[in-house]
Amino acid sequence: MTLPLPASNQLPSFGAILPEEVEPAIDQLLAENRAEIARLLAAGNHSWEQLVMPLEALNDRLDRAWSPVSHLNAVKNSEALRAAYNACLPKLSAYYTELGQDERLYAAYRAIQQGPAYGDFSLAQRAVIEQALRDFHLAGVDLPAERKVRFKQVRQELSQLSSKYGENLLDATHGWELSITDEARLAGLPESARGLLRQYAQQRDLPGWCVTLEFPSYQAVMTYAEDRALRQELYIAYATRASDQGPNAGRWDNSELMEQILALRHEMAGLLGYHDYAELSLATKMAESTDAVLAFLTDLAQRSRPLAEREMAEISAFAEAHGGPAQLAAWDVNFWAERLRQAKFQLSQEELRPYFPVDRVLSGMFETIGRLFGVGVREVAEVERWHDDVRFFEIVGEEGGVRGRFYLDLFARPHKRGGAWMDECAKRRRLADGTLQIPVAYLVCNFTPPTAEHPALLTHTEVETLFHEFGHGLHHMLTQVDFAPVSGINGVPWDAVELPSQFMENFCWEQEPLALIAGHYQSGAPLPDALYQRMRAAKHFQAGMQTVRQLEFALFDFRLHRQYEPQLGGRIQETVDAVRAEVAVVPVPAYNRMQHSFSHIFAGGYAAGYYSYKWAEVLSADAFSRFEEEGVFNPVTGRAFLQQILEQGGAQGPMELFVAFRGRKPTVDALLRHNGVAA
């Protein structure tokens, strides 16, 4: 085996992954898996021990070989690795489709479900079988032969198109930069931002400062730069990435890819007997129907838009009264909103930044989960990593055993995908010899890196992002389920998977956790109470505008997939425009191509599922309201959340688990209150 294949609790050797060896190694693993599955089926003894467990072991071995390759492609992208990654995608897609369409395997799982032993299965074992049977149908096991072939082709093509979409976005993001030598153009930017832009220039052997499309750079300029022309230039470059518009028009254009992706998704849904891809998407989610999702989003939009309109009018009036333009453009809104925030609350994100040095935030976050869930976190130095910035930690249970492990990669850099995410390196599972495979996570963010002048200092928004991703990590790592298909986040409906992540964000706003998270990077002084009170007062600043922005994404995604008609094509811009007319309050220029960089739905797992953020926010806000009632650090409440939500994985339905924790079904009231919309 040329690709380094870790044993069950060994960690990946990233340095030993050579691009030219990836494809032959994956070919070998796939061939071995196919041969072993054929042998298992031929043996005919179709039981949990003789079929389900060996199959889980085979797929886990493949997962753990592929996971570090896929991960490196996202965080340390190169031409050679990209080529190897893309060569393997259709092969992996074909393998998983073959498994899902294997009628002998399907019959074997049905026989297990109907057999005498099934009555003694645990809830988790039953969930494995039931979800597998559902997934056989969703892979086309019932289809006639020629439609099976077409289904397999569609899946392969989709995996390649989605990958290409993400590559185009990465290349477009790193394919634009602006060198600045006149410091006057940076008027208004705080010293932390100037230091970052100076660092970008030094990395590129440029004089002065360099503005890029990486988010820390974009955010700083759009929020603070007094030079309106600079903001406009950056906005145009950012809003037209990977499209037919803007400074790199047509160079990495995702237009045709989006059309092909939508057409193939619609065809796939039709092959399986669904009316549209949105309907197919809901087959594995909590939401009961596409009508229910649209009603939920529309209701939230109707409740939020009046508030958003008032907020936008307030920014416009403030700008006009303080020498701004009579008509705000898209590149003016963040700048004037930040000035308004400072005027109303005497508060800026920059004023908070010195109180959130990254080491203090991490130690406070670990202390927070210690108080809530009774676990500890310790750093492990001697672990191979893919970059010097990366750190590695273990989560230790109350009895001293390691419950989970994770890599932490916090800072933006070239050749790294934008955004923030948690991904699986290894899943928890009980091996045939009785030993336990410990779950391992990758936690990735794109924060402002440290500079020569000071350590990495986070904005409060970045602190929330870190807690969010750590919530996903806890869901993956603290599971007590011993079967990979339903351990951690596996088998959890996609529209419930954001519950732990959004739940964890709440602790960034509460005084007791903040006392642990915040401390001035020079003096260690706690966050002053006056500053905390201003922060709390500003919590709902522009809540309406933020809510309708999320709803714009969610409605666009869902309608795009629900209303697709092959003879009309994707009608992508038409759909964007229609949704904006209904919910948006910020003026958007005609050349804006948000959809061309919407990787969540075109290159991620959120297609016809972006609504999940709001859907799960109802669950998370209501779950946290129990902590508000019983005490933020109430250990009984914390252990209940651990045992009834985090440890259960996909072994039970999320509504059952929520009711077990909350004592009732969720209501939207807590969400509206948390978002400031109810007020």
DSSP string for residues in 437-480: EPPEEEEEEEEPPP-SSS--B--HHHHHHHHHHHHHHHHHHS--
- Strand partners of residue 440: 405, 426
CATH number of the domain residue 481 falls in: 1.10.1370.40
Judged by DSSP in three states, 340 sits in helix
pLDDT of amino acid 6: 62
How much is the average pLDDT of 424-453? 95
Pair 347, 341: CB distance under 8 Å:
yes
**Cβ count within 10 A of residue 26:** 23
Together in a domain, 282 and 394: no
Q: Which of 338, 469, 505, 552 is catalytic?
A: 469
pLDDT of amino acid 9: 84
> Which of 115, 141, 167 is where one domain is finished?
141
Together in a domain, 641 and 602: no
Q: What is the CA radius of gyration of the chain?
A: 25
Q: Is residue 245 part of a domain?
A: no
Tokens 């509460």 -> residue: 510
Together in a domain, 521 and 645: yes
Q: Is residue 606 part of a domain?
A: yes
Q: Is 90 exceeded by the pLDDT of residue 45? A: no
Q: Is residue 166 part of a domain?
A: no
Together in a domain, 645 and 525: yes
Together in a domain, 211 and 336: no
Side chain identity, residue 619: L
> Which of 591, 610, 629 is where one domain is finished?
610
Q: Is residue 5 part of a domain?
A: no
Pair 465, 420: CB distance under 8 Å:
yes
% of the chain with per-residue pLDDT over 90:
94
Residue range 540-582, pLDDT digits in tens: 999 999 999 999 999 999 999 999 999 999 999 999 999 999 9
Pair 451, 350: CB distance under 8 Å:
no
pLDDT of amino acid 671: 84
Together in a domain, 358 and 341: no
Pair 278, 608: CB distance under 8 Å:
yes
What's the predicted TM-score (pTM) here? 0.95
Written as six digits, the tokens of 614 are: 């709001």
Written as six digits, the tokens of 256 are: 């045709």
Q: Is 469 a catalytic residue?
A: yes
CATH number of the domain residue 41 falls in: 1.20.1050.40
Of 542, 452, 460, 2, the C-alpha closest to 200 is 452
DSSP class of residue 569?
Answer: B
Pair 426, 437: CB distance under 8 Å:
yes
Pair 620, 506: CB distance under 8 Å:
yes
Residue spans of alpha helices (H) in 102-121: 103-114
Together in a domain, 325 and 308: yes
Of 262, 263, 232, 256, the C-alpha closest to 242 is 256
Together in a domain, 597 and 478: no
Tell me the backbone φ, ψ of residue 426, rounded to 5 degrees: -150, 145
Together in a domain, 531 and 606: no
CATH number of the domain residue 598 falls in: 1.10.1370.10
Q: Is 80 exceeded by the pLDDT of residue 4? A: no
Q: Is residue 161 part of a domain?
A: no
Pair 243, 254: CB distance under 8 Å:
yes
Q: Is 50 exceeded by the pLDDT of residue 379? A: yes
Q: Is residue 165 part of a domain?
A: no
Residue range 260-277, pLDDT digits in tens: 999 999 999 999 999 999
Together in a domain, 377 and 503: yes
pLDDT of amino acid 5: 58
| CA dihedral (602, 603, 609, 613) positive or negative | negative
| CA dihedral (252, 255, 260, 265) positive or negative | positive
Expressed in angstroms, the distance from the first to the final Cα of the chain is 61
pLDDT of amino acid 59: 97
Decide the pairing of beta strands 402-411 and 421-426. Answer: unpaired
Together in a domain, 310 and 446: no
- In total, the chain counts a number of residues equal to 679
Range of the domain at 462: 354-537+613-674
pLDDT, the chain, mean:
96
- Which positions ≥6 away from 211 have C-beta within 8 Å? 177, 178, 180, 197, 200, 217, 221, 230, 234
pLDDT of amino acid 524: 96
pLDDT of amino acid 452: 84
pLDDT of amino acid 1: 46
What is the per-residue burial (b if ≥16 Cβ within 10 Å, else e) of 259-288?
ebbbbbbbbbbebbebebbbbbbbebbbbe
Together in a domain, 383 and 459: yes
The region, left, alpha or beta by phi > 0 then psi within -120 to 50, assigned to residue 534 is alpha
d(CA 418, CA 523): 33
- Strand partners of residue 408: 391, 443
Number of domains in the chain: 4
The kind and range of the H/E element at 211 are: strand 209-212
How much is the average pLDDT of 165-173? 97
Tokens 């500003």 -> residue: 538
Judged by DSSP in three states, 210 sits in strand
Residue range 105-141, pLDDT digits in tens: 999 999 999 999 999 999 999 999 999 999 999 999 9
Q: Is residue 479 part of a domain?
A: yes
Decide the pairing of beta strands 402-411 and 391-396. Answer: antiparallel
Q: Is residue 393 part of a domain?
A: yes
Pair 572, 595: CB distance under 8 Å:
yes
Q: Where does 164-321 show beta strands of DSSP type E? A: 177-180, 209-212
Query: Helices H, strands E: what count in the chain?
Result: 26, 9
d(CA 532, CA 51): 57
